[in-house]
């Protein structure tokens, strides 16, 4: 969310136990959600996502991410406000903030498609469409305002060490004061994941082909063979089970357990299907193609979290309201109902392009 650079974050993220080495946290950022029924399970909440697959990789000032046609020209124009902001970056930020929902409102009061806090809007909102009003609920005002605010932030943190774009995004989320205080991205799990996921969405390779049904079947088959394998924090590689790392937020170590964590299992399963995924659930979402809940099919990945930057769990949908997953320390790879957790936020289909580690 966009916060005043002097005020910082209103709420810091807490980390969740069933995550990989870089996953975790919960956010109070709004997401546009719809309620659906999956198989015989109770209704679950799934984010209304925009498919993020373009024709070309992000290059210069081109917009290659797919966005709602209503906002495309706004994003293309506003995304060239300054050199640190690109149309793809702005599109990724709006996807992250609200799922392009102009009526989004978070639990801490962030408003509109760009999730401005009221005080920040008063200071930085602009009349983008020239109608004489500055309306946070009007994308024609909010989208140019978000870009202009990003550019202002970029100037404010330009002397902070590190990547200027990363610092800009961190300041948009946590406040410029926090970025100055810590000399770069602050040590807040939510902010770290926020920066990483937006840049991954903006920079993800385009033109990849979604997993075929044959590849999905191969991934499910590989995961089934691992049923009964112990959960290991940070465990699992493309080659199979492995010992993990220390330690989870609750102090669980995987250093003496050979097995998988949630994203280690999906990494391995899709490697057996010929698709390379990044290591963590947040990164796996960014490297996959979002699908509508009504279009989900066996083999799709299901993600849990309060926002796309705080995804803490991933599983493989197998149909009938069930998934294969490595749930948490002390458990084993198993079948779980999709509503085993209440924060199912996204469904995505792995793509066959070569994904870089992000």
**Contacts from 277-280 at CB under 8 Å and sequence distance 24+?**
277/350, 277/355, 278/355, 278/356, 278/357, 278/358, 279/20, 279/21, 279/22, 279/357, 280/19, 280/20, 280/21, 280/22, 280/23
**What does the DSSP 8-state code read for residue 323?**
E
Q: Look up 217 and say whether it is catalytic.
A: no
Which among 293, 249, 278 is positioned nearest to 355, based on CA atoms? 278
Distance CA 184, CA 176 (A): 10
Which among 128, 67, 61 is positioned nearest to 93, based on CA atoms? 67
Q: What CA dihedral angle connects 209, 290, 236 and 26, to 10 degrees? A: 160
Cis peptide bond upstream of 247, omega within 30: yes
Distance CA 80, CA 328 (A): 44
Q: Which of 23, 76, 97, 111 is catalytic?
A: 97
20, 54, 198, 339 from 257: Cα distances, Å: 14, 41, 33, 27
Q: Which residues are catalytic?
A: 97
């Amino acid at each position: 969310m966009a916060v005043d650079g002097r005020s910082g974050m209103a709420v810091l993220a807490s980390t969740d136990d069933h995550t990989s080495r870089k996953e975790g946290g919960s956010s109070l950022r709004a997401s546009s959600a719809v309620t659906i029924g999956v198989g015989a399970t109770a209704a679950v909440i799934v984010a209304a996502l925009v498919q993020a697959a373009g024709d070309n990789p992000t290059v210069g000032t081109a917009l290659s991410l797919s966005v709602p046609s209503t906002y495309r020209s706004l994003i293309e124009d506003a995304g060239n406000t300054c050199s640190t902001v690109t149309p793809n970056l702005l599109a990724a930020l709006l996807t992250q903030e609200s799922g392009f929902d102009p009526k989004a409102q978070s639990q801490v009061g962030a408003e509109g498609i760009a999730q401005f806090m009221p005080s920040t809007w008063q200071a930085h909102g602009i009349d983008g469409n020239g109608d004489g009003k500055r309306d946070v609920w009007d994308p024609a005002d909010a989208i140019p305002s978000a870009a202009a605010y990003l550019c202002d932030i970029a100037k404010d943190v330009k002397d902070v060490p590190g990547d200027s774009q990363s610092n800009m995004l961190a300041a948009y989320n946590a406040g410029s004061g926090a970025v100055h205080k810590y000399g770069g991205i602050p040590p807040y799990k939510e902010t770290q994941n926020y920066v990483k996921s937006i840049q991954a969405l903006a920079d993800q390779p385009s033109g990849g082909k979604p997993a075929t049904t044959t590849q999905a079947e191969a991934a499910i088959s590989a995961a089934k063979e691992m049923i009964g394998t112990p959960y290991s924090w940070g465990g699992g590689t493309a080659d199979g089970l492995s010992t993990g790392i220390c330690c989870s937020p609750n102090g669980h170590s995987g250093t003496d357990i050979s097995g998988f964590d949630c994203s280690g299992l999906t990494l391995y399963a899709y490697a057996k299907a010929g698709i390379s995924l990044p290591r963590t659930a947040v990164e796996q979402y960014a490297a996959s193609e979002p699908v509508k809940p009504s279009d989900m099919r066996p083999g799709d990945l299901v993600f849990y979290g309060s926002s796309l930057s705080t995804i803490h769990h991933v599983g493989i949908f197998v149909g009938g309201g069930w998934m294969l997953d490595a749930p948490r320390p002390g458990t084993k790879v198993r079948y779980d109902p999709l509503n085993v957790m209440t924060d199912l936020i996204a469904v995505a289909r792995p793509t066959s392009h070569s994904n870089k580690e992000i």
